[in-house]
Amino acid sequence: MKRIILASGSPRRKEIFKSLNIEFEIIKSSYDEILENDVFSYDKIENLAYNKALAVAKTVNEPALVVGADTVVVSDNQILGKPKDRADAFNMLKKLSGKEHFVVTSICVIETPNMHTKTNSTTSYVEFENLTDDLINYYIDEFKPFDKAGSYGIQELPQGFVKHINGSFENIVGLCSKSLTDLLKQFKH
């Protein structure tokens, strides 16, 4: 079995990898994910996942599968990234209140040393309840979601936030295990 490398420091992705009983190691990607604008497209997110994986794949000399991923929250075709500060987090959650939005995680696997690449994206839909300012402030104060796209982590939201989810819960957390295993199977020789 080839070495499998997760090109991410995300504790949530690490937990999903562990739950699959995949032997892997982590080499955090040095790729600086900067979006030129916040208009959503699958190509844009898949490109981020690819560049994260590529930054690590270039440093690996023996046969390995390098996995890069990127997750975005999208509302009104606008990407909601990680909040800049508390006010930004509040405004994002207020924007999502009472509406459906979607979460896309793109996964890219690069096989070294030949740099053969496969990418896929998974989309899940989340509808929030109408959130009170008090509930939003409580969530921000207690969970400090400043490292999370869209200013929230689905796995930690208190009761009263989520009205409905359609699609993979793990995808919203940051990595759909079925998409990952399907991609990895394509590299078995």
CB 181 within 8 Å of CB 107: no
Cα separation of 137 and 90, whole Å? Answer: 7
Break the chain down into helix, strand, coil percent, rounded to 5: 35, 30, 35
Mark whether 70 is an active-site residue: yes
| E strand or H helix at 17 | helix 11-19
CB 148 within 8 Å of CB 72: no
Residue 34 C-alpha from the chain's centroid: 15
Q: Which listed residue (70, 76, 85, 141) is catalytic?
A: 70
Active site residues: 70
